[in-house]
Structure 1
Amino acid sequence: MSYELKKVFASLPQMERGVSKTLGGDPKGNNFLYTNGKSVIIRNIDNPAIADIYTEHPHQVTVAKYSPSGFYIASADISGKIRIWDTTQKEHLLKYEYQPFSGKVKDIAWTEDSKRIAMVGEGREKFGAVFLWDTGSSVGEISGHNKIINSVDIKQTRPYRLVTGSDDNCSAFFEGPPFKFKFTMSDHSRFVNCVRFSPDGSRFASAGADGQIFLYDGKTGEKTGALGGAKAHDGGVYAVSWSADSTQLISASGDKTVKLWDVAANTAVTTFHMGADVLDQQLGCLWQKGHLLSISLSGYINYLDRNNPDRPLRTIKGHSKPIQSLTAHRNEGRPYIYSGSHDGHINIWDAETGDNDGFSGKGHSNLVAKMVVNKDGQLVTCSMDDTVRFTDLRRKEYSASDLLKMDFQPKCIAVGPGGYALAVCIGQLVLMKDKKKCFTLENLGFEPESAALHPGGGTAAVGGADGMVHLFSIQGNTLKDDGKTMEAKGPVTDMAYSNDGAFLAVADEKKVITVFSVADGYAVKNDFYGHHAKVVCLAWSPDNEHFASGGMDMLVYLWAVSDPDRRVKIPDAHRLHHVSGLAWLDEHTLVTVSHDASVKQWTVKF
């Protein structure tokens, strides 16, 4: 048995209202970079479904930038650590690691020879540092500000100049190396969010929360003008990015627009309207080759269309919050993946292309705990908003009528033939038939945690915090306790019948999976050991011979029912986070999700 990582559908950038997001561009123009949690995500700009994730930071990463040579990426985190790592090898070997100051890093800039790095942020003793990339020794001092520095840039032509923008409403100008403070520019009346030199070094722009963008001479730091006269945008400007020929720039604003400026003419050539919702505020942008990118507060990445400013060429969607639940389903022969996250968002992925979208309409408002597809092609989901929803996968639209309110919070949902579904809520079981509640069972004598309905119908297995599996029979519109129990090794975390109904696999907190043989009166077939921590999810392969398990130990195991020793271990399936969901697309393709907000597909050979 062997495995190989086939595809990575990466998370979106992690966004915060009122905080600009830096997008890094590859000097060769092929990739772009951003951060989410402890991950740095590298995506192909022409085909964003191609992605790579760097996960070596122990703390939340805030910014990542390519070196001008393109061989290295520098990424920095909230502790003040900066890691410089290789981009040419798959392993991304660490070249150097430094901590020039302690505190959150907000921005990074390289000199054009890829030898010096400036970083700024919320340091405790200082707000910035400039150092040699290979020794870490200082090449100047970043001073002149009395508050957090939000942005830094270095002129990419000699003589070198460095500029910073800060929460003290000022920009500061430095000459070097070694970089020495020359003067401050206090043209902005609010925070300075972004400063950027044009590629030819002739000028630089500073963008502020006051909606203004000022232009300065790149060599002397003299102010030469303001884009759009009195105001460039109606809201704060969070980012600017120059065109390669230094004649134009784009600006992203909280007024939900991105503007394309002709710098010499001082006019906005195009205004891209991104929407009317608060989540349509634009907090970052990047001009890369022929692509104009912007990031919305929702985390969506927009490819702007100069010919049609009211509609992006494409919008990359996905998850920016941890993914909790997963299922897969074939719709008219095509494989689709469905994933639900902590914010209630459910995403639909085309498993082959990575194209994705959400359902239209109002959906869950809180964590989606579990999801499964029933025989009628409906996605059945339960959420911490105390509801169970039935959503038609063909229409891709939430229905207000196919929504059932539960008395208590549901933790798990199971579906079976005949239109039955069973919700496991805190302290009770709720049986549903044809999208309506038909029976509620309380005072169970144990706390139910998980459930599975036999594919042949008639039987519900419920796993409890008491470490037992309790069998119930479904009789018409009622649920009857059969009085039969099987023992797991610990409190049950997840359970699933094989597709042919021959086996029931039960995972528990004591790191064990027990498989019961249904035909033999639920006798134990085998116990499966291997996980180092609580097992949280299970999924049967369509061949009914193999199943996968995921745990808090970040491991995924592939097991053969008949032989517990024949197993394949996928270590660090999602490095840094536990595996929260598993699903099979076919006998040889396993999908995994995690709190890193990414979806991975693995090719498995038995």
Structure 2
Amino acid sequence: MSPPAESVFASLPHMERGVAKVLGGDPKGNNFLYTNGKSVIIRNIENPAIADVYTEHPHQVIVAKYAPSGFYIASGDVSGKIRIWDTTQKEHLLKYEYQPFGGKIKDIAWTEDSKRVAVVGEGREKFGAVFLWDSGSSVGEIVGHSKIINSVDIKQTRPYRLVTGSDDNCTTFLEGPPFKFKCTISVSLELLFCVVLVSVSVQIFLYEGKTGEKLGSLGGEKAHDGGIYAVSWSPDSTQLISASGDKTVKLWDVGSGTAVTTFNLGSDVLDQQLGCLWQKNHLLSVSLSGYINYLDRSNPDRPLRTIKGHTKSIQCLTVHKTDGRSSIYSASHDGHINILQSISAHYWDSESGENEGFVGKGHSNLVSRMTPAEAHPLRVCVCVCVCVSASDVVKMDMQPKCVSVGPGGLAVTVCDAAVRLQDGKVRLYSVQGNTLKDDGKVLEVQGPVTDMSYSPDGAFLAVTDEKKVISVFTVADGYTEKSEFYGHHAKVVCLSWSPDNERFATGGMDMMVYVWTVSDPDKRIKIPDAHRLHHVSGLAWLNPNTLVTTSHDACVKQWNLKN
């Protein structure tokens, strides 16, 4: 039996400039959700370090919404598939899958009885559909638009009303069920990003929920100085928040039509606000950077908290300990480096799971390897080799592939070249000052080398190769081969030694992680589908019984191996 994931530090939402991001909330107000790649991320709103990841879509997921009952979630992807799955079990069993149209699904809405689902998007023959959740039978027809429908919502009291907003600058109202076209209202704006019985672009229009009659607008002709990408109602329907490309979120009093509070989220382009959610007493917004902001009504210029992390694939990680405290460093494909702190050498900060990014000018591209040094908290290797503050930069003639730091802070970087060759041989070098001397010692392995690492005490050298074999050599015996380890079904890509030198972990293209015991090759722990969608890109140990893994799903996972 594989060990459970003790903690999941989830990815942030995948964001695109100028594209609204839908945040969903469960009806009890305990969780919120969003999408990144092929994953749906569910996070506890009080403690967002508690997260769950749904990974069953074969294509990129765009939107996910809870049923009002809270028992199911409907999620839609770029292929036009809708999956309706269970929320009460860890396995999230699939209940139904439908394809209402062929093309990207952009929004989803449920009726209040959780029996009907409306979906809209970039269909080829039609832009929307509404059907029974448990049979897929149509309960109306969404018509009245000539272009892509961006948003849909359903009035949550009878008689039901369905409203849509489209690229054709129109809002359409339908009555039902079965839902039938009632009227179209031309807004005469560049684009309608969302509707929840209000329609928005640079203005926010209010409509009577039953008749579709236009009641007025919030803030007059210009509610924000930029495009408005999302709105979300308060639980009592007397207020709403709006998120804008002008880098602000505004809190509106619907009765007076005025902005009560303006939340200023920054001045950088990445501070544009593309999504928002009012969940119980929490006001959330999501920035173009992917950061999720908990807004503070008493201090609108500073969020109560900001959830940070990665939005793109994590390439590598390492663990560094200072003053008895462990930090996990992870680096992603976009060049961002984040630090996830733990309160001790054993566990993540279970109260917050907070992390911080490095400041200063860092990398502009893929970070391929990181390693800690005694003199510096961290040295990173990519197109250049930098320290944590990016104050030391070493230009390289070729792209660095890996880096290692020895005593005294001496760093050795490999660039497309010689130590790890494609001929299945490992060559040993002596370090003499600032130069390397070929010792003439060659170790034979089964295939092209993919990774290698000395045990912390220097007693063993482990080497992985493309032939799915892990070879361990004993240093004191002149690098004689001690054991070979087999089990992976595809190329092994990374390895990491435990701090006690007794075990090491490997990750393969088969999406498996194995934990091996040096003294007994037959004793192993198998973690299948550690990240499900992708192979493990990085391994590191917090302590002898706690392994951390990363992957291209942009998530960090921590595994308890004590049992």
Q: TM-score, normalised by structure 1?
A: 0.91
Moved more, 297-306 or 351-360: 351-360
Corresponding residue to 1:551 among 493, 508, 520: 508
Counterpart of 2:481?
524
Give the Cα separation in 2 of the matches to 1:377 and 1:4: 34
Post-superposition Cα deviations, 1:343-390, rounded to whole Å, max 9, x if no partner, equal 11000001321111111111111111000101224201011xx20012
1:279 is paired with a residue whose SS is: helix
Does the Cα contact within 8 Å between 1:2 and 1:604 map onto a contact in 2?
no
Corresponding position of 1:587? 544
SS at the partner of 2:451?
Answer: strand
Matched, 1:68 2:58: no
- CA distance in structure 1 between the partners assigned to 2:411 and 2:258 by the alignment: 60
Mapping for residues 293-372 of structure 1, pairs under 5 Å: 293-351=284-342, 352-353=348-349, 354-372=353-371
The answer (yes or no) to whether the contact 2:2–2:527 under 8 Å persists in 1 is no
Q: Does 1:468 align with 2:425?
A: yes
Query: 2:400 maps to which residue?
Result: 410
Select the structure that is richer in strand.
1
Residue in structure 2 matching 1:239, options 230, 236, 240: 230
> Separation in 1 of the partners of 2:236 and 2:70?
19
SS in 2 for 1:418: helix
Query: What amino acid is aligned across from residue 66 of structure 2 in structure 1?
Result: Y
Distance, in Å, in 2 between the alignment partners of 1:537 and 1:422 is 19
**2 CA distance for matches of 1:465 and 1:68?**
56
Distance across 2 between alignment mates of 1:254 and 1:10: 25
Q: Please report how far the alpha carbon of residue 552 of structure 1 lies from its aligned counterpart in structure 2 after TM superposition.
A: 1.1
Measured after TM superposition, the shift of residue 483 of structure 1 is 1.1
Corresponding residue of 2:451: 494
CA distance in 1, matches of 2:140, 2:282: 35
Question: What CA deviation, in whole Å up to 9, does each residue of 1:306-353 have, x standing for no partner?
Answer: 011110000000000100010012232222110000011000001321
Contact 2:2 2:528 in 1 (8 A): no
Change (3 A) 1:139 1:366: same
Deviation at 1:4, TM superposition (A): 2.6
| Worse-matched range after superposition: 563-572 or 317-326 | 563-572
Match of 1:227 in 2: 218
In 2: Cα distance, 1:56 partner to 1:195 partner:
28
**Aligned 8 A contact 1:550 1:580 in 2:** yes
1:594 Cα deviation (Å)? Answer: 0.2
Aligned length: 555
Name the residue aligned to 1:253.
Answer: 244
Q: Please list every run of 5 or more consecutive structure 2 residues that lacks an aligned counterpart in the other structure.
A: 343-347
The structural deviation recorded for 1:463 is 2.0
RMSD: 1.0
- Show structure 1 runs of 4+ deviating over 6 A: none
For 1:343 and 1:498, how far apart are their aligned partners in 2? Answer: 30
Letter in 2 for 1:175: E
Shift of 1:477: 2.3
Instruction: Verify the 8 A CA contact 2:375 2:408 in the aligned structure 1.
Output: no
Task: Trace 1:552-567 onto structure 2 (pairs within 5 A).
Answer: 552-567=509-524
Residue 378 (1) aligns with residue 377 (2): yes
| 2:424 is the counterpart of 1:424 | no
User: 1:40-59 CA deviation, whole Å, 9 max, x = no partner?
Assistant: 00000000000000001111
- In structure 2, distance between residues paired with 1:467 and 1:584: 27
Instruction: Say which SS state the counterpart of residue 420 (structure 2) adopts.
Output: strand
Q: Measure, in 2, the Cα distance between the counterparts of 1:376 and 1:306.
A: 43
The alignment-based identity, stated in percent, is 75
Q: Compute the displacement of 1:418 (Å).
A: 2.8
Does 2:50 align with 1:50?
yes
Matched letter for residue 217 of structure 2: A
**Aligned match of 1:389:** 386
Provide the C-alpha distance between the structure 1 equivalents of 2:373 and 2:37, rounded to a whole number of angstroms: 34
Question: How far is 1:13 from its partner?
Answer: 0.2
* Residue pair 1:256, 1:273 contacting (<8 A) in 2 also: yes
Give ranges in structure 1 of 5+ residues lacking alignment: 197-203, 392-397, 427-446, 449-461
TM-score normalised to structure 2 length: 0.97
Distance 2:420 2:359 in 1: 34
Who is 1:282 aligned against? 273
Q: Indicate if the aligned counterparts of 1:11 and 1:36 stay in contact, CA closer than 8 A.
A: yes
Please state how far the C-alpha of 1:411 moved relative to its aligned partner.
0.7
For residue 408 of structure 2, give the secondary structure of its aligned residue in structure 1: helix
Q: Which amino acid aligns with 2:215?
A: T
Amino acid at match of 2:403: I
SS of 1:107 mapped into structure 2: strand
AA aligned to 2:90 is K
Tell me if structure 2 keeps the 8 A contact 1:188–1:212: no
Work out the CA distance in 2 between the residues paired with 1:50 and 1:333: 25
1:105-124 correspondence runs (5 A): 105-124=105-124
Instruction: Provide the C-alpha distance between the structure 1 equivalents of 2:318 and 2:2, rounded to a whole number of angstroms.
Output: 23
